Structure 1
Amino acid sequence: MMRNTSPVGWVPLLAIKVLFEGSLCPFLLAAVVVAVPIMLFTVAIDTWFYLGAVNGKDWVFTSYNFVQMNLVDGLSKFFGTDPWWFYLVVFAPAIFTAMYPAMLTSLFTHLRSMYSKGQTPYLAYYNAFYLLVFSAIPHKEMRFLLPIVPFAFIMISELLSQTIKSGGCQATLASVSIKLFIVVEMAILATVTMFHQRNWEWEHYLTRVKGEPIHSVYTTDSYGSPHFSWFHGTGARVNLVTLNPQ
């Protein structure tokens, strides 16, 4: 399943559709025909893989456990906490780079454009609500913002298109922003590819270059690289070391 908190931005959209646009019956129909069967199926899969069997008595509700541990019990704080403004000041600029000013501006221009047409600004509502909710959660990570990226760039493209069509200095600024964004993204891609994401090189050296039998591998990185894929079939045992101060 998707991350449990990813659908947060859809809550106000669903509320608008049900409360103000007469979509209660289609919503209930979709819930019964689509949502509930999918949820039951995923619960059965989780139960099967975690407990080894589906006996009808013991069930694994991954979504409930996720919410209970991370939000209710607040255990996510052990992964680190940041102030409420961290997404807006640090992570969002890191994602949108040169387009960050356009992203902020597009929230307001999209609202104005949709209101002038008598339409609901779903994209702005989604992004604003998502940022609001996630900013209230102490534990923050850059990847948590990924669900808003496609919708944000739709609004950005709408803003840039309207600005370029209007001509003048603003059109020139928009054109320069696009070119600058492309250059910055290419530089980031090159840096990440050549320097940052290189944690596979030691595995390649041990399994392909050194040519000696490998008995054991000890690493603290349990998720950044597919260790088990590299050492599968070599007879090596991969040990994930936890840096527990106790």
Structure 2
Amino acid sequence: MENIRSRLTFGNKAEDVKLRKRKSQLYAKDDPCPLNCGALGFRLALFVVAFRLINCFLVQSSFVPDEYWQSLEISHHMVFNYGYLTWEWKEGIRGYSYPLLFAFVYKVLYYINYDSVHLLKWLPRILQTLLAAFADVKFFFLVGSLENTDTAKWTFICHLSSWFTWYCCTRTLTNSMETTLTTLALCYFPLPGSRSQSSWKYLTLVALSVLVRPTALIVWFPLLIYHFWQEENKLKFIIHRCALIGTLAILISTTIDCVFYGKWTFVQFNFIKLNIFHGVADFYGSHPWHWYFTQGFPAVIGPHLPLFLHGCTVAFRRYKMMAYTITWTLIVYSLLPHKEFRFIYPVLPFCMIFCGISLASLKSWRRTVTAILVVSNLLPALYTGLIHQRGTLDVMGHLQSLCDVSGSNNLQPNVLFLMPCHSTPYYSHLHCPISMRFLECPPNLGDDYVDESAIFYEDPLQWLRASFPYKSSLPTHLVIFDVLEKDISAFLQGNNFVRTTEIFHTHFPEGRVGRSIFIYERH
């Protein structure tokens, strides 16, 4: 390289042009940002923020109950002192650190008298969106430092076009925050070739992800072992970094939990004890051991799967640690009976690196493949975001009108949800203390165990007659899925309930979840 510099200085003009071109080629792979990094970063940030905000507002469906019941409902209760806390918060297996983030937003809105229901619903999601956008930008430059700008570009296209990332990254799910923090931590992890390595930063981000969701340790365990193995001063790494950051994180989180629980509570221990040793997670369903390999992972990675498999063959030697981490995560989660798509979401950015390398290596075919990739991901992204399972959110918009007027015959509104438990959000999407009730379904944690939901669905008509023997005790509004209507029609007719609203929910009704949601009002 020094020889090139000297010849550029003393050679003739024609040679200078050739050598400058050669120099540019030599530096291309080493330089993750051949354009001005500040200008590129600014333009990229503007584009990604705009893209993710569009992403945010085009996701108007529900995914899983935890999106509200482990975040927004808790935040609403923390700030406005009314709402409903699920059994997890009564047993102390959930931490307040994550809901505290949104509670801060709610508190600011409350102080400036702008706590409208629309802002309470959307500002937490916008905050999650901005954090996801920041992680996206950092991810681009990470791949640029590991490979080159061209590969980073194709990897970024793969990342932004992922239907599952579109579906999840702007939601107020602990899994979404876990994935965002994991992506940021990976940007500072000591990967060979990375230019932003910082043990303090990545370990702090890992600690935060574990506080948000203790299972984040599953993803990071092999990476931490790898770093420990590569570290020259292993004792210093363990004591001065891992132990120090871990202890501080636990102290801060435990202090927050003790303040809001009002007693000594070690959430991480309670979480592991109930979910692993007592098998509480099994209560919410189980799948065969191979589910992640045969259904879960193929669905999450979607149309990117062929690129991922090809990328593994192309870049396995360079990124075998990432491949091992993906495999390890799938295997560990496969050993747990209760399985969900969102649990493996944090490894999706790892997969996108292999997809991007594969796409970059296709040369003349990559534009065609990209077009196919974008279209094949766009359809499920828009369908799941705008159409599938949107009814349980839309119904809360209809019920919100009850906050402004009293029920029929001057009765105060009293809403009963006869649906699988936690089907809808709750007070965070109404923001008024009207009386509401739903069928409860806590796991078996004691001798006085009652699964109200299971008892109801065994004989819905009998449960309703026993629960409401007098007309004065009847609710003013019933919210049900259409599949239940026939079973309780005698109760509806006998008590003058009239269907006032029908709301589309899904094209794929299953079991107790119907195609539409009905709102009945008593006259």
The interval holding the TM-score normalised by the smaller chain is 0.7 to 0.9
> Are 2:239 and 1:31 aligned?
no
| Deviation of 1:88 (Å) | 1.5
Which of 182, 202, 207 does residue 395 from structure 2 map onto? 202
TM score, norm. by length of structure 1? 0.81
Which of 227, 231, 243 does residue 426 from structure 2 map onto? 227
| Deviation of 1:224 (Å) | 5.8
User: In structure 1, the residue corresponding to 2:454 is in which secondary structure?
Assistant: coil
Cross-structure match for 1:14: 224
The one-letter code matched in structure 2 to 1:202 is V
Runs of 4+ in 1 over 6 A off after TM superposition: none
Equivalent pairs counted in the alignment come to 226
Cross-structure match for 2:383: 191
* In structure 2, distance between residues paired with 1:236 and 1:156: 50
* In structure 1, distance between residues paired with 2:227 and 2:394: 50
* In structure 1, distance between residues paired with 2:315 and 2:455: 50
* In structure 2, distance between residues paired with 1:141 and 1:39: 27
> Are 2:265 and 1:66 aligned?
no
The one-letter code matched in structure 1 to 2:347 is I
* In structure 1, distance between residues paired with 2:425 and 2:219: 31
User: In structure 1, the residue corresponding to 2:212 is in which secondary structure?
Assistant: coil
| Alignment CA distance shift 1:244-1:23 (3 Å) | farther
* In structure 2, distance between residues paired with 1:146 and 1:128: 13
* In structure 2, distance between residues paired with 1:96 and 1:160: 15
* In structure 2, distance between residues paired with 1:13 and 1:210: 50
TM score, norm. by length of structure 2? 0.40
Cross-structure match for 1:154: 353
| Alignment CA distance shift 1:110-1:237 (3 Å) | farther
In the alignment, structure 2 segments of 5+ residues that lack a partner are 1-210, 408-412, 441-452, 457-523
Once the two structures are superposed, residues 212-236 of structure 1 have per-residue CA deviations (whole angstroms, 9 ceiling, x without a partner) of 4252223346656532123222x41
Cross-structure match for 2:299: 94
User: In structure 2, the residue corresponding to 1:96 is in which secondary structure?
Assistant: helix
* In structure 2, distance between residues paired with 1:240 and 1:32: 44
Once the two structures are superposed, residues 15-72 of structure 1 have per-residue CA deviations (whole angstroms, 9 ceiling, x without a partner) of 122134425223421124322111111012112212x15xxxxx31111111111112
User: In structure 2, the residue corresponding to 1:127 is in which secondary structure?
Assistant: helix
| Deviation of 1:200 (Å) | 1.8
Cross-structure match for 2:255: 44
Structure showing greater Rg = 2
* In structure 1, distance between residues paired with 2:233 and 2:424: 44
The one-letter code matched in structure 1 to 2:248 is P
| Deviation of 1:131 (Å) | 1.0
> What fraction of aligned residue pairs are identical, expressed as a percent?
23
| Alignment CA distance shift 1:190-1:16 (3 Å) | closer
Greater CA deviation, 99-108 or 71-80?
99-108
| Deviation of 1:210 (Å) | 10
* In structure 2, distance between residues paired with 1:68 and 1:132: 21
Cross-structure match for 1:78: 283
Cross-structure match for 2:333: 134
In the alignment, structure 1 segments of 5+ residues that lack a partner are 54-58, 115-119
The one-letter code matched in structure 2 to 1:84 is W
Cross-structure match for 1:122: 321
> Are 2:212 and 1:2 aligned?
yes
* In structure 1, distance between residues paired with 2:249 and 2:404: 47
